[in-house]
């Protein structure tokens, strides 16, 4: 009979260690993940840091708007052609007014027209008086632009009064383009 010598315990332990070492490496190589199989949902928060990203490997499209600083301004380009002239603005603004007679007649109506060649921009009315009566006895009933050139107003005694009063109507006029 042939006698087979048994391996020593040290040899058995070293062979098992060698098998485990080689098996772990080969397992990792065999179980490599397929391309594009790991994405954002599989990554833990803060798993990708600056140290783990290769320099100059990211593109501008990989960043959200406003994350990259703007570069220096480039040189100014040539001047473009002049555009058409705009319309003329407002000029020669003036305020014109008229006042009714001073008496106790009611109602009083007045109008103020802008001078020739000018348009009405706005206007208003003011009561003057009544003298010797409570101020609340006279009121402006209407105050309005009548068209592009005339401003009108009407004043009326709310409470009959013997006091005298007048109505002033003014228009703000200007030359427009």
SS3 of residue 27 by DSSP: helix
pLDDT tens sequence across 45-102: 877 787 888 888 888 888 888 888 888 999 999 999 999 988 888 899 999 999 999 9
At 36, list the tokens. 């594009």
Q: Is 172 within 8 Å of 93 (Cβ atoms)?
A: yes
Tokens matching residue 145: 């632009």
What's the pLDDT score for residue 14? 85
Alpha carbon of 162 to those of 40, 102, 136: distances in Å? 90, 12, 13
What is the distance of C-alpha 117 from the center of its chain? 39
Distance between CA atoms of residues 88 and 90, nearest Å = 7
Quickly list H helices, 2-151: 9-30
Mean pLDDT is lowest, of 6-15, 82-91, 128-137, 147-156, for 128-137
């Amino acid at each position: 009979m042939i006698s087979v010598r048994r391996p020593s315990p040290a040899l058995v332990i070293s062979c098992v260690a060698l098998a485990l070492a080689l098996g772990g490496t080969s397992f990792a190589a065999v179980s490599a993940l397929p391309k594009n199989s790991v994405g954002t949902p599989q990554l833990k928060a803060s798993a990708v840091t600056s140290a783990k990203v290769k320099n100059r490997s990211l593109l501008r499209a990989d960043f959200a708007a406003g994350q990259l600083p703007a570069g220096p301004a480039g040189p100014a380009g040539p001047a473009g052609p002049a555009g058409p002239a705009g319309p003329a603005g407002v000029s020669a603004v003036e305020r014109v007014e008229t006042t009714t007679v001073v008496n106790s007649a009611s109602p009083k109506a007045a109008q103020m027209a802008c001078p020739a060649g000018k348009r009405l921009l706005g206007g208003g009315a003011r009561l003057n008086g009544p003298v010797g009566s409570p101020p609340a006895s006279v009121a402006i009933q209407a105050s309005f632009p009548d068209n592009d050139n005339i401003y009108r107003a009407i004043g009326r005694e709310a409470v009959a009064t013997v006091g005298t009063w007048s109505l002033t109507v003014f228009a703000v006029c200007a030359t427009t383009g």
